[in-house]
Structure 1
Amino acid sequence: MTTSLRLGPLLRHVGTSTATVWVETDAPCDVGIRVSGCGVRTSRTLTVHGHHYAVCEIEDLRPGATLPYEVLLDGIRVWPEADSDDDLPPAVLRTLDEKAPTRLLYGSCRTPTEEGSAEEAERHGPDLLRATARRLAREEVEGNLVLLLIGDQVYADELREPMRAFLRRVRERDRDGAPEDEVVHYDEYAELYRQAWSDPLVRRLLATVPTLMVFDDHDVRDDWNTSAAWCRSMDALPWWRTRATSGLGAYWIYQHVGNLSPAARAEDPLWAALCEHRDRGTDAADTLDSFASRAHDDPSSYRWSHRYDVGGVRVLMLDTRCGRALGEGDPSDGSRSILGAEGHDWLDEHLTGGPEHVVVASTVPVLLPPAVQHLEAWNEAVCAGAWGRAARGPGERLRQALDLEHWGAFQYSLHRLSDAISEVARGERGPAPATVLILSGDVHFSYAARVRLRTAGEDGSRVTQLVSSALCNRLSPVMRRVAALSAGAPFHLAGAIMSLAAGVRRPSLTWRLTDRPYFDNTIGEVDFDGRGAHARWYHCPGGENGAPPRVRSVLEL
């Protein structure tokens, strides 16, 4: 019986002379990547929970090359498929060119939908990953192009009917009391990823555009690590440890391992342990589960944040979820932070001057519409006792009900990042970049926030936050109205009074939204050329009708 691709290929970390291709197969095999003019590079699959994966490293490539490639399983070509869409461009690897302009695509929050389904289109809106695949098929791609998926690549707790049907089939008996409408076990996560990335257009996009990823809450569960009280309530559920272990283990296999360069992967203890199982021909489930359980219990045991340099652009992908410190004391002492102590130290090490542009990718926005920012800061202070012990319980319930869990709800982290960005922009951490950009998603609306540094001179960096969300999961009409109201001046004033009354200290930077938030699905793009940069947001104003997306707005940075 011929071995088949179950998922992939995904083009992941790419350097000037290297490329990483990730695949999942339906049986153990040798995976070959045949690159035009470079021969075949072969890797053996490793097995985890009965699933089979290969991470194929292609080396000694030319900088700035565009090379067609094929996937072979045990020597038989399986991709591109013989009946693949002729309208799509050929599958290629593109290596980086340090002297070429760079383009970053970014977005978050994607629910996979069935193309052509009117019901799903009405609920979730057009799929901007599919639309982007169509757009790139019509463009001549030049320079460096990288896709950043910054959170909620899968929704483990908001399932479509195909995934619910899968759960009904595999759960013939009670599995730890797991909820009927949420994934819990590793095999369920594997199917969730398969459904998310199997659409032909999305598959071709991920096979041809180098992609970096980082999780947000829905990759594990909604509101993951919102607070210590939230964690205690989840720990009391009999299935939660299995869920957290499965979610983190699946995330490492499906998303994180591809973020690593060949050198970083070679130094990763988990990768070495998995390769030992591969060489022995044994299933590495226990090894992966032990790692994930330890990462869940001790966030400092593993660093999920990662750095990627492309030309004159430095990209810092931040873990704002797993590494959180959730102390319940004084918010200013660092015991409660969105990155944790190790995460902040790592960011300080890499958030420096020198590159022409510095990009901080945070799944949750650093700078929200001011009214919401004040509300989060006020709520954190109240939960810590600023208005007395009696107000802490109601404050915690409000925090969880309204999802008050962005950087504004972690004032220690907000101030530390604000100070670091100010220092970089002033040239105090090396030569000031032309721009410092914060890319974010999560909130299901898109906007830009111009930052003004209180003590920066005219020669400092231009600082902007760009938010693009969702790729395919638009807000309901009611939530759109609520979000729109939150950006208004009356709520801004009310929020400022509340935060002042709770003793909240102002950060070292201020900002304003450049326009009203946009509430339909978008994908963001930033183009860098020398020290210049500009941002675009793409959307499908008439719905997803087979046409490529259109530019909604452009912002010079």
Structure 2
Amino acid sequence: MTPNALPLVLAGPILRRLARERLTLWIAVREPVQLRLTLVCGAALPQSHLLALGGAGCRLLTAGTRLHYLLIDLALEELLPLDRWIGYTLALRPLDTDDAGWQDWSDWAPDLCYPGRSSPGFVLPSRVGALLHGSCRKPHFDGSDGLLEADRLLARCLGEEPETRRSADAERAAHEALPTWPSLLMLTGDQVYADDVAGPMLRAIHQLIARLDLPDEPLAGMERTGVVNAQSLYRHPAGFYRRETLLPRHRRNYALMEVLFGGVEKPVFTTDSAHNHLITLAEVLAMYLLVWSPAPWQGISLEPPPGLDEASHALYRTERLAIEGFIAELAAVRRLFAHLPVAMIFDDHDITDDWNLSREWEEIAYGHPFSKRVIGNALLGYLLNQGWGNCPEAFAGQTLELLQQSLAAPGSATHEDCIERLLGFDHWHYSWPTTPPLVVIDSRTHRWRSESAARRPSGLMGWEALTDLQQTLRGQPAVLLVSPAPIFGVKLIEAIQRIFTWFGQPLLVDAENWMAHPGAAHAILNIFRHPRTPQHFIVLSGDVHYSFVYDVELRGRIRGPDIWQICSSGLRNAFPPRLLDVLDRANRWLYAPRSPLNWFTRRRHMRVVPRKPEGTPHGRRLLNGSGIGLVEIDAEGVPWRIRELLTDGRCVTFTRRESESRWD
């Protein structure tokens, strides 16, 4: 297949951080291009910006002969208006063409625009009146995509004038009305599953690597298997569904398998073993393109590779049906990303399962060159595809220079240096200057490691990171705080995790919750109680594969802030239904307000009011099913309506049940 058979735009455009004076946009293209960005708002004269590669406002990174990443981070001379539709046109011109070679969105993504609009666009809000959030998007999950529901919501919103904003009182009265245009889309973790890849997806990844002409990568630590580089890995008989057999043999190989490939069955929260874990940098880069855009799927064959046994063939056929459904919805996902500013943060599956769960996990995973490379490659992919647009200035200078050299020569000493730098990087967290401000924490690399026992779960944030967070929050009346794992979780599930941790088996139950580490739990609760931190906290979380809402009040000598723990998970994933039903029922019985067990386990002077997802079976508090969260917020920073848009067409509202409040 010739290079011209590839579409010019491979993925994007994806809107990232937006402000009145700055616009950030990410795009992946087949070849270097010149860009022309035009902004149009009402009758005002269009703003046109011609951007040269490598110049001010446009950074280029090249990963292969036919894969180039562009991050537009444009400082605007004229401030963008608030609460009005701003249309934009991104035109591209390959460098080897003349002025007649300009191509805009109608040439390379004719379905990028919503009906009734002449271009893509966005709304820059004076305050956050509504937002969408979700996590855990697994392509081969047997179901639809919550991002598709978000796209449908935007299409319905455009039936009304997005510039029109109701007062808070009018919004409350119109309970069934559409929300205001969402201010942002917050993806709270597991945007990709690097550790759980379907066979058809891996088949597509390898074809795309060849089409993009991504460079080969030498691999250390696998010589006994005959795998010395990426190409020998792709051809290896164990390359599909049996990658865990390629692990190097050494004294603690059992632990390395457990850490990296999920080789241990988890009896409480079951997870399939990840037999197609991404290994090379090229695999990670191709995966991102394939989960965010329909364009790179053009010309890809999903026929199974040779050499599969009967069981693998059967699994491949099942996964293929799910992947074909996933592909069919990607055009809507691309359109959504082009219309809302998208904020992202990693959780474990963006890198590998149970990433940094304990000090023992880190010592094993980073102590071997093979596992360190696998983790490092996923982290490089996260930086390039997700982290870069969250806060571009955090990655300026040497970090991007090392990244470019690593992309050009994966497996080189520079590549190893880049991985080492990113493993020690401490600015994955970020804030956006919205009203209320969006504060996104890194709960994966700022861990509070146990000094007493290496197997004990680490705290989700260390003392220094929590101190910095407190300084960030000081003086704010309200905040949107993003924690990938819920800060206030389901009490029974946390109790089960504590039991398994006590027996020295935290990996068996993903024992990662804020209350699992006494130091981290005490510190985060003290931040909430501090008199100079916000009085209204909206905590957005994911991770757990079910959705729930708790209203939390912290009591002490003085009344603490109002906290809403809002969990939406997953976008394209779900919890085993029967198991969740058992856990939900048991949690309500064992920790009911009048339950003796609840009284005996009270520790933190918290009043917790669970919300009921309306329309679900009697008593249910945990909502299962793929979808996306929709939170509507008043001028004081208080969520007045919390809903989940499910892929089965239901719109479920979480209703406060005062009579079910309990002390914890």
Using the size of structure 1 for normalisation, the TM-score is: 0.81
Tell me if structure 2 keeps the 8 A contact 1:184–1:243.
yes
Q: 1:59-100: per-residue Cα shift (whole Å, max 9, x none)?
A: 2342324322222222622424464277546444436343x4
- For 1:234, give the aligned amino acid: A
Offset at residue 42 of structure 1 (A): 1.3
Segments of 5+ residues of structure 2 without an aligned counterpart are 41-45, 54-59, 94-100, 163-179, 210-229, 235-242, 248-260, 262-274, 294-329, 613-620, 659-664
The equivalent residue for 1:223 is 354
The equivalent residue for 2:646 is 540
Q: Secondary structure at the match of 1:327?
A: coil
| Aligned counterpart in structure 1 of residue 472 of structure 2, from 321, 330, 350 | 350
Relative to structure 1, the CA distance from residue 7 to residue 556 in structure 2 (aligned partners, 3 Å threshold; closer, same or farther) is farther
CA distance in 2, matches of 1:252, 1:362: 19
| Aligned counterpart in structure 1 of residue 133 of structure 2, from 106, 110, 122 | 106
The equivalent residue for 2:71 is 55
Offset at residue 238 of structure 1 (A): 5.4
The equivalent residue for 1:413 is 520
Greater Cα offset, 335-344 or 84-93: 84-93
1:245 and 2:376 correspond? yes
1:76 and 2:94 correspond? no
Which structure would you say has the larger Rg?
Answer: 2
The equivalent residue for 1:320 is 443
Offset at residue 32 of structure 1 (A): 3.3
Q: 1:296-348: per-residue Cα shift (whole Å, max 9, x none)?
A: 2x3xx32211111212x0221111112223234179xx994211244223212
Relative to structure 1, the CA distance from residue 490 to residue 274 in structure 2 (aligned partners, 3 Å threshold; closer, same or farther) is closer
CA distance in 1, matches of 2:90, 2:285: 21
| Aligned counterpart in structure 2 of residue 153 of structure 1, from 156, 179, 191 | 191
Relative to structure 1, the CA distance from residue 288 to residue 107 in structure 2 (aligned partners, 3 Å threshold; closer, same or farther) is farther
- For 2:540, give the aligned amino acid: L
Q: Secondary structure at the match of 1:174?
A: helix
| Aligned counterpart in structure 2 of residue 181 of structure 1, from 272, 276, 299 | 276
1:27 and 2:156 correspond? no
Tell me if structure 2 keeps the 8 A contact 1:305–1:319.
yes
The equivalent residue for 2:56 is none
1:526 and 2:526 correspond? no
1:208 and 2:227 correspond? no
The equivalent residue for 1:438 is 539
The equivalent residue for 2:571 is 471
Relative to structure 1, the CA distance from residue 325 to residue 166 in structure 2 (aligned partners, 3 Å threshold; closer, same or farther) is farther
Relative to structure 1, the CA distance from residue 364 to residue 436 in structure 2 (aligned partners, 3 Å threshold; closer, same or farther) is same
- For 1:351, give the aligned amino acid: L
CA distance in 1, matches of 2:469, 2:624: 31
Q: Secondary structure at the match of 1:514?
A: strand
Offset at residue 445 of structure 1 (A): 0.8
1:96 and 2:111 correspond? no
Q: Secondary structure at the match of 2:103?
A: strand
Offset at residue 158 of structure 1 (A): 1.5
Report matched runs for 1:496-515 at 5 Å: 506-515=603-612
Offset at residue 207 of structure 1 (A): 0.8
Q: 1:491-511: per-residue Cα shift (whole Å, max 9, x none)?
A: 7879869x97xxxx9335342
CA distance in 1, matches of 2:123, 2:110: 27
Q: Secondary structure at the match of 1:527?
A: strand
Tell me if structure 2 keeps the 8 A contact 1:418–1:509.
no
Using the size of structure 2 for normalisation, the TM-score is: 0.68
Offset at residue 126 of structure 1 (A): 2.6
| Aligned counterpart in structure 1 of residue 462 of structure 2, from 340, 349, 353 | 340
Tell me if structure 1 keeps the 8 A contact 2:130–2:633.
yes
Tell me if structure 2 keeps the 8 A contact 1:150–1:216.
yes
1:373 and 2:476 correspond? no
- For 2:147, give the aligned amino acid: L
Offset at residue 525 of structure 1 (A): 1.9
Relative to structure 1, the CA distance from residue 97 to residue 132 in structure 2 (aligned partners, 3 Å threshold; closer, same or farther) is closer
CA distance in 2, matches of 1:82, 1:151: 27
CA distance in 1, matches of 2:538, 2:557: 16
Report matched runs for 1:391-410 at 5 Å: 395-397=503-505, 399-410=506-517
Tell me if structure 2 keeps the 8 A contact 1:451–1:511.
yes
CA distance in 2, matches of 1:17, 1:86: 24
Relative to structure 1, the CA distance from residue 319 to residue 284 in structure 2 (aligned partners, 3 Å threshold; closer, same or farther) is farther
The equivalent residue for 2:174 is none
The equivalent residue for 2:430 is 306
CA distance in 1, matches of 2:603, 2:139: 40
- For 2:450, give the aligned amino acid: G
- For 1:47, give the aligned amino acid: T
Offset at residue 438 of structure 1 (A): 1.2
Tell me if structure 2 keeps the 8 A contact 1:303–1:343.
no
CA distance in 2, matches of 1:127, 1:442: 16
CA distance in 2, matches of 1:367, 1:89: 43
RMSD: 3.4
Relative to structure 1, the CA distance from residue 92 to residue 419 in structure 2 (aligned partners, 3 Å threshold; closer, same or farther) is same
Sequence identity percentage: 24
Offset at residue 165 of structure 1 (A): 1.2
CA distance in 1, matches of 2:112, 2:73: 27
CA distance in 1, matches of 2:446, 2:363: 16
Offset at residue 421 of structure 1 (A): 0.6
1:133 and 2:151 correspond? yes
Greater Cα offset, 199-208 or 74-83: 74-83
- For 2:90, give the aligned amino acid: V
Tell me if structure 2 keeps the 8 A contact 1:359–1:438.
yes
Q: 1:253-307: per-residue Cα shift (whole Å, max 9, x none)?
A: 100110116xx358665247668x79xxx948666653333332x3xx3221111
Greater Cα offset, 345-354 or 230-239: 230-239
CA distance in 1, matches of 2:388, 2:115: 27
CA distance in 1, matches of 2:62, 2:577: 45
Q: 1:8-66: per-residue Cα shift (whole Å, max 9, x none)?
A: 11000001222111011122333332333111341422214664111112323423243
1:487 and 2:592 correspond? no
The equivalent residue for 2:172 is none
Tell me if structure 1 keeps the 8 A contact 2:446–2:460.
yes
- For 1:94, give the aligned amino acid: F
Q: Secondary structure at the match of 2:550?
A: strand
Offset at residue 514 of structure 1 (A): 2.5
CA distance in 1, matches of 2:468, 2:69: 30
Offset at residue 474 of structure 1 (A): 1.2
Relative to structure 1, the CA distance from residue 244 to residue 143 in structure 2 (aligned partners, 3 Å threshold; closer, same or farther) is same
Relative to structure 1, the CA distance from residue 168 to residue 8 in structure 2 (aligned partners, 3 Å threshold; closer, same or farther) is closer
1:46 and 2:61 correspond? yes
Tell me if structure 1 keeps the 8 A contact 2:394–2:427.
no
Relative to structure 1, the CA distance from residue 82 to residue 109 in structure 2 (aligned partners, 3 Å threshold; closer, same or farther) is closer
- For 2:564, give the aligned amino acid: T
Q: Secondary structure at the match of 1:464?
A: strand
Offset at residue 160 of structure 1 (A): 2.5
Offset at residue 490 of structure 1 (A): 2.5
Q: Secondary structure at the match of 1:396?
A: coil
Offset at residue 362 of structure 1 (A): 0.4
CA distance in 2, matches of 1:485, 1:469: 19
Tell me if structure 1 keeps the 8 A contact 2:112–2:338.
no
Tell me if structure 1 keeps the 8 A contact 2:457–2:511.
no
The equivalent residue for 2:287 is 192
